[in-house]
Chains A and B, each alone.
Chain A
């Protein structure tokens, strides 16, 4: 039973990392209607920016993470404005954009390799004693991850429901052309969402790397399909669906580790991904939306 509760605690941690990543990916999809296959490398970049501030400049981890995520705005702005959007704006072949995001992934991952090298790195976070919270046994860092994700999710909820920008985002996600005719500056909103998506990727990458304790340039890419599973579970383009998907996938993955060797636990997410696509490609949330 203790093992089970512990796995639920780890599940909440994984769900938190997933939620940050999945909401970032799905918000951007809602604006642009294509999947960004370079997202895993955005996360890796966030992890390395955080690492540079944390280890090279000696900052404490959490400020380094936040500033690293803010710095993500620069590369993401450049990539979306000068590489992806020119392709997206074309009326011609729409599928090129998927290949282009893959090419961006190739470029980014190798830039990271060239700048930071291929060795495994660790954050400088000092001793971390586990604490008992109710039935769960978690480290202070893991509690920090859960707290960060909770704050971000509430902030995104407020953004979507209480602000003009959030309303514009939802309108574009529902129907881009209709939003444009009603005078919403779709281009500007899309750019802002790209930056937001990049920052969430940065946060997610940083905490993912913190949680796996030592990481290399592949850290984001090998986690990418788990994010896909969470996003598709909730219905791609739906931020609340992504949050639910993250919670479900996070718990399923960690609880499954009780029954199968933990080296294979992430693979369970693949079964969920395929299962959802077979049964309900619009995501499980579409059941609720109709009812």
Chain B
């Protein structure tokens, strides 16, 4: 195979691995706990920025300013990014996750995105404002001394290892008593509380876990691309991750992975192959997003459970063989 194609496919593989981390995290927050985390992409950005300033040296050039600058290496920066996203998620969750209507929660979280985005864009001293962080050293870049064109092959195992760990955790969470409790709060908070579940704490935990996943995805993104700016985390990115999870099938890890494959690789890369019109460079991106929006509406209408549905769990099968098959998720969080 020609080197170009290899390179392209390898880059695609990295994007896919990182996107799986994003959908797996949202699967815990939204798929299992039913929390409308409409600021999900914010936590990806927090993870990316904090991982970036953990690796970068202190800023001393005018026009390039950021906080910290710890000069640390991989994988400490990734952990810092994940931790920062988790802490930020905890703070937001403590305020937002209360016994209020789910659309109020969603409104607060949209506001969280807007505020974080505008503060990050306008405050130069934080993460270099609108321009964002650039020139972030890649993991093992200096030690290995590989050709920049071959670096992607170094990064695939890194991203794959991170995904393997996070996939295993997500798989265990789904089958654990904790996962069961999350699904119970998603279906009906009052009933779950009546059975002695501490619903607010459960939902808060689910939100923080999701944020940590997003933080890891962000850290991997900035480590791979060496850059992160506010343009990369517009609010529509959150909608696209939701779309991936809904299309793939929320509430189960395989649906989350399939969603990443269908939306991130098939649609986003597929539309990238369309011919560009020289006068309208934004047309491809717009077409792609319109397609994603239409897809999520069609899927929610005709197959709301997604391509791979969540397995309906039945606990009293011997006594009640004909459990209501039509009962679906009725209450959002």
Residue of B nearest to A231 (CB): B107
Q: How close is A107's CB to chain B, nearest CB, in angstroms?
A: 4
Is A107 in contact with B294, judged by CB distance below 8 angstroms? yes
Could you say which of A110-118, A128-136, A155-163 contacts chain B? Answer: A110-118
Is B329 in contact with A114, judged by CB distance below 8 angstroms? no
Is B328 in contact with A93, judged by CB distance below 8 angstroms? yes
Q: Mark A19-34, 1 if CB is under 8 A from B, else 0.
A: 0000000000000001
Is B108 in contact with A273, judged by CB distance below 8 angstroms? yes
Given known A95-B332, A110-B286, contact A277–B108 (CB-CB < 8 A): yes
Q: Is B150 an interface residue (CB 8 A)?
A: no
Is B282 in contact with A93, judged by CB distance below 8 angstroms? no
Is A103 in contact with B293, judged by CB distance below 8 angstroms? yes
Q: Is A287 an interface residue (CB 8 A)?
A: no
Q: In whole angstroms, how far apart are the Cα atoms of A225 and B243 in the complex? A: 22
Could you say which of B160-168, B217-225, B295-303 contacts chain A? Answer: B295-303
B contact residues, total (Cβ < 8 Å): 50
Q: Is B290 an interface residue (CB 8 A)?
A: yes
Is A264 in contact with B119, judged by CB distance below 8 angstroms? yes
Among residues 78 to 114 in chain A, which have CB atoms less than 8 Å away from a CB atom of chain B? 83, 86-87, 92-96, 98-100, 102-107, 109-111, 113-114
Q: In whole angstroms, how far apart are the Cα atoms of A118 and B287 in the complex? A: 14
Q: Is B246 an interface residue (CB 8 A)?
A: yes
Q: Which of B38, B280, B293, B328 has the most CB of A within 10 A?
A: B293
Contacts of A34 in B (CB 8 A): 103
Q: In whole angstroms, how far apart are the Cα atoms of A63 and B282 in the complex? A: 31
Is A93 in contact with B297, judged by CB distance below 8 angstroms? no
Is B36 in contact with A117, judged by CB distance below 8 angstroms? no
Residue of A nearest to B240 (CB): A106
Residue of B nearest to A108 (CB): B293
Is A92 in contact with B304, judged by CB distance below 8 angstroms? yes
Is B286 in contact with A113, judged by CB distance below 8 angstroms? yes
Is B290 in contact with A111, judged by CB distance below 8 angstroms? yes
Contacts of A83 in B (CB 8 A): 297
Given known A103-B296, A110-B285, A222-B118, contact A94–B330 (CB-CB < 8 A): yes
Contacts of A277 in B (CB 8 A): 96, 98, 100, 104, 108
Is A222 in contact with B282, judged by CB distance below 8 angstroms? no
Contacts of B118 in A (CB 8 A): 222, 263-264, 266-267
Per DSSP, chain B at the interface is: helix
Is A106 in contact with B289, judged by CB distance below 8 angstroms? yes
Contacts of A98 in B (CB 8 A): 36, 102-103, 106, 332
Is A117 in contact with B300, judged by CB distance below 8 angstroms? no
Contacts of A113 in B (CB 8 A): 282, 285-286
Given known A106-B239, A221-B235, A263-B122, contact A87–B301 (CB-CB < 8 A): yes
Is B107 in contact with A100, judged by CB distance below 8 angstroms? no
Contacts of A95 in B (CB 8 A): 34, 36, 102, 329, 331-332
Per DSSP, chain A at the interface is: helix
Q: How close is B138's CB to chain A, nearest CB, in angstroms?
A: 30
Q: In whole angstroms, how far apart are the Cα atoms of A224 and B112 in the complex? A: 12
Residue of B nearest to A119 (CB): B282
Is B119 in contact with A267, judged by CB distance below 8 angstroms? yes
Contacts of B36 in A (CB 8 A): 95, 98
Residue of B nearest to A29 (CB): B103
Q: Which of B235, B243, B294 has the most CB of A within 10 A?
A: B235
Q: In whole angstroms, how far apart are the Cα atoms of A237 and B91 in the complex? A: 29
Q: In whole angstroms, how far apart are the Cα atoms of A131 and B106 in the complex? A: 42
Residue of A nearest to B329 (CB): A93
Q: How close is B106's CB to chain A, nearest CB, in angstroms?
A: 6
Q: Which of A92, A94, A95 has the most CB of B within 10 A?
A: A95
Given known A94-B331, A264-B122, contact A105–B239 (CB-CB < 8 A): yes
Is A35 in contact with B293, judged by CB distance below 8 angstroms? no
Q: In whole angstroms, how far apart are the Cα atoms of A172 and B104 in the complex? A: 21
Q: In whole angstroms, how far apart are the Cα atoms of A16 and B316 in the complex? A: 58
Contact of A232 among B104, B119, B300 (CB under 8 A): B104
Contacts of B101 in A (CB 8 A): 281
Contacts of A109 in B (CB 8 A): 236, 289
In the complex, 24 of the A-B residue pairs with CB atoms within 8 angstroms, ordered by the A residue number, are: A83-B297, A96-B300, A98-B103, A100-B297, A102-B38, A103-B297, A104-B293, A106-B239, A106-B243, A106-B292, A107-B289, A107-B290, A110-B287, A110-B289, A111-B286, A113-B282, A113-B286, A114-B286, A114-B287, A222-B114, A225-B110, A225-B115, A273-B108, A277-B104
Pairs of residues from A and B, 4 with the lowest C-beta to C-beta distance, nearest first: A95-B332, A107-B293, A225-B111, A106-B293
